[in-house]
Amino acid sequence: MTEQRIALVTGGTGFVGANLLRRLVSDGWDVHVIVRPGSDLGMLSGIEHSIRVHVHDGSTEQLTAIVKFASPQIVFHLASLFLAQHTPQDIAPLINSNLLFSTQLVEAMSVTGVRHLINTGTSWQHYENKDYSPVCLYAATKQAFEAVLTYYVDAAQLAAVTLQLFDTYGPNDPRAKLFTLLRKTACSGEPLLMSPGEQLIDLVYIDDVLDAYLLAADRLLQSQVNRHEIYAVTSGEPIKLCDLVEMYSRIIGLPLAVEWGARAYRLREVMLPWNQGQVVPGWKPKVALAAGIALMEHNIRLSEQTAKR
């Protein structure tokens, strides 16, 4: 009989995290999730009875008690505040979510003897393909946590894998991301003001992203991880934004009134996504972009039909 695998997940109420929870549950893991007092649990609908939800009160002590209670083989750390650009008011929440909470988590792991972490970074730590140049402050906080993690790897013998994600997409995405905006525009027929659209975008379908997490978990469970390994979860096939919009419009069968060049590029716009990272050994994306968009659209139409009934 195989040993029951136990996972502790942060960020489980977000897009990637909620999908990861579903995958872990269906793969037979015993799943614990850490949420905040005000977290919206809507993304957990249908699996709420198959997972254990722990509400973190913000303290290191209580987080330690949660980690001790769950005693996971793997901590999947996905919680984060994402902001492409920040204002002075964002500093505290950014540091809170991306650095303080993350450090409390690894402290709790080291105190309780939990040794395996999968951390989540971003390709935006590598502006203009540099080893480290953050696109924005959010990316800088991700790098800062990796620096903190080095201490716990060296001093507390944590084994860690950081998965640096690129753009992710798939069905049931509540985030105000590109495809949500495009679909809204296509349905309303209103014009959409965009930059010139020459930037390359690297999109990975959610199921492929989850495969990378599970392969990383296997590496940790099989003691294959050398201290802290960092991998890129990249499609390897970036596409120009203007070509992506054309492809999307063709697949969903609706025209899109995009006014290219009506907006300027963002400060430090990523024109060329990082392409120097290694992928998790054995991982490669299975869902091609056109197929992924079609799958996503099929799913949205099914949900719309169900909602109408």
How many Cβ atoms from other residues are within 10 Å of residue 299's Cβ? 13
- Report the nearest approach of ligand NAP to the CB of residue 48 (Å): 14
- Of the candidates 103, 121, 146, 133, the one whose C-alpha atom is nearest the C-alpha of residue 16 is 121
- Of the candidates 22, 29, 26, 38, the one whose C-alpha atom is nearest the C-alpha of residue 4 is 29
Beta carbon nearer to ligand NAP, 68 or 254: 68
* Interface positions with ligand NAP (CB under 6 A): 10-17, 35-36, 39-40, 78-82, 96-97, 101, 120, 122, 165, 167-168, 175
Bridge partner residues of 260 (DSSP) = 194
- Report the nearest approach of ligand NAP to the CB of residue 174 (Å): 7
- Report the nearest approach of ligand NAP to the CB of residue 163 (Å): 8
Beta carbon nearer to ligand NAP, 110 or 122: 122
Beta carbon nearer to ligand NAP, 120 or 185: 120
Beta carbon nearer to ligand NAP, 81 or 254: 81
- Report the nearest approach of ligand NAP to the CB of residue 125 (Å): 9
Tally of helices (H runs) and strands (E runs) in the chain: 9, 13
**Residue that has been written with the tokens 């690129």 in this structure:** 166
- Report the nearest approach of ligand NAP to the CB of residue 170 (Å): 10
Q: Where are the beta strands (DSSP E) in the chain?
A: 6-10, 30-35, 51-55, 74-77, 116-122, 159-165, 167-169, 192-194, 200-201, 203-205, 228-233, 239-240, 258-260
- Report the nearest approach of ligand NAP to the CB of residue 96 (Å): 5
Beta carbon nearer to ligand NAP, 7 or 78: 78
* Cα separation, 41 vs 140, whole angstroms: 28
- Report the nearest approach of ligand NAP to the CB of residue 11 (Å): 4
Residue number, nearest CB to ligand NAP: 14
Contact 96, 56 (CB under 8 A): no
Buried/exposed code over 238-267 (b: 16+ C-beta within 10 A; e: otherwise): bbebbebbeebbebbeeebebeeeeeeeee
Contact 279, 231 (CB under 8 A): yes
Contact 287, 207 (CB under 8 A): yes
Beta carbon nearer to ligand NAP, 110 or 164: 164
- Report the nearest approach of ligand NAP to the CB of residue 240 (Å): 18
Beta carbon nearer to ligand NAP, 64 or 80: 80
- Residue 258 half-sphere exposure, CB side, CA atoms within 13 Å? 23
Beta carbon nearer to ligand NAP, 105 or 158: 105
The secondary structure element, H or E, covering residue 41 is: none
Q: Where are the alpha helices (DSSP H) in 232-280?
A: 241-252
